[in-house]
Amino acid sequence: MSDYIDLHVHTTASDGTLSPAEVVRLAAKQKLRAISITDHDAIDGISDAVAEGKKLGVEVITGVELSIDYQLPNNGDMHLLGFFIDPASTSLCASLDWLRQEREMRIPKVLAILEKHKINISLFEVKAIAKDATLGRPHIARAMINKGYASSIQEAFDKYLKKGAVAYVKRKKFELQQAVNLILDAGGCPILAHPYTLNLPHPKLEDLLVTMKDMGLKGMEAYHSDHSSQQMTEYLEMATKLNLCVSGGTDFHGNNKPDIKLGTGHGNLKIPYSVVEELRQK
């Protein structure tokens, strides 16, 4: 067992391609000491992962990644990670159930637009791919690949499904303060995920972090597959300056993001277990 971790992992409970148990088995194979299952707006995979972790000696930290409705320039996107949450939290479970219902109403709208572009994908086909997971765009993309409308997930998103593309339909998200409160009420530690996706210059990011800290934010994700070495250094310095803790993870999605490997990202990410110890103190 190494002393390395991965605190940003997706499974088939959202838009990953490995089941929670399969992810834990892969973590054990790669000798990771701890991982966190942080599915998008879903906590369904946590119990299976925790059970498998106990069998294999991998610490599985309960987690979630919440999508945030926050106005940002340059198509910036905000997500919050919540660590050490109670998966039985009444407020969190109720809010995620509401969001799931809202999200599933979005899928037929996307399919209707695709049909106008001579791409015929049925809701049944999307549900067959998603199985028990919340329906999402990656499942539509998989259906498009299966029927020859796209050669890859990336192509499906770039041409049709991403924000600004022809079949994009805005989805429901949580308000920032609402999301922070949900994580805190569930006994968790709210963390700003992959700050590079906000597309903010560092002075504005720092100002935003100060505001978010007043709301209850505890830290930021400094280590991430898509952060450059310089960005990671700058985020670590910013966290120290603002007295925020840091987290880190690969944003693993299995074959939906095949270039990102569990534990190492693009091959060079090494996140120490001391990050978990610091988060636990928050």
Specify burial of residue 186 (Cβ count, 10 A radius: 0-12, 13-18, 19+): buried
Look at residue 75 in the predicted model and tell me its pLDDT: 83
pLDDT tens digits along 29-43: 999 999 999 999 999
Say whether pLDDT at 132 is over 90: no
Look at residue 39 in the predicted model and tell me its pLDDT: 97
pTM here? 0.89
Phi-psi region of 251 (alpha: psi -120 to 50; beta: other; left: phi over 0): left
Distance separating alpha carbons of residues 57 and 52, to the nearest angstrom: 8
Say whether pLDDT at 134 is over 90: no
Where does CATH 1.10.150.650 sit in the chain?
96-161
Structure tokens at 85: 């949450």
Structure tokens at 20: 């929670």
The count of other CB atoms within 10 Å of the CB of residue 147 is 13
Say whether pLDDT at 131 is over 90: no
| Mean pLDDT, residues 47-63 taken together | 98
Rg (CA), the chain: 18
**Which residues are registered as beta bridge partners of 220?**
192, 246
CB-based contact 16:130 (threshold 8 Å): no
Cα–chain center distance at 64? 7
Look at residue 133 in the predicted model and tell me its pLDDT: 79
Distance separating alpha carbons of residues 273 and 244, to the nearest angstrom: 17
pLDDT tens digits along 200-252: 999 999 999 999 999 999 999 999 999 999 999 999 999 999 999 999 999 99
Look at residue 219 in the predicted model and tell me its pLDDT: 98
Say whether pLDDT at 8 is over 90: yes
Say whether pLDDT at 74 is over 90: no
High-pLDDT (> 90) share of the chain, %: 90
Look at residue 215 in the predicted model and tell me its pLDDT: 98
Say whether pLDDT at 1 is over 80: no
Q: What is the DSSP string of the chain?
A: --SEEEEEE--TTTT-SS-HHHHHHHHHHTT-SEEEE--BT--TTHHHHHHHHHHHT-EEEEEEEEEEE---STT--EEEEEES--TT-HHHHHHHHHHHHHHHHHHHHHHHHHHHTT----HHHHHHHHTTSPP-HHHHHHHHHHTTS-SSHHHHIIIIISTTSTT------EEHHHHHHHHHHTT-EEEE--GGGG---HHHHHHHHHHHHHHT--EEEEEETTS-HHHHHHHHHHHHHHT-EEEEE--B-GGGSTT-BTTTBTTT--EETHHHHHHHH-
Would you tell me which CATH number, out of the four given (3.20.20.140, 3.30.70.3270, 1.25.40.10, 3.90.1150.10), belongs to the domain 4-89+173-281? 3.20.20.140
pLDDT tens digits along 94-111: 999 999 888 888 999 999
Distance separating alpha carbons of residues 182 and 84, to the nearest angstrom: 12
Look at residue 155 in the predicted model and tell me its pLDDT: 96
Where does CATH 3.20.20.140 sit in the chain?
4-89+173-281
The count of other CB atoms within 10 Å of the CB of residue 4 is 19
96-161 domain in CATH 1.10.150.650? yes
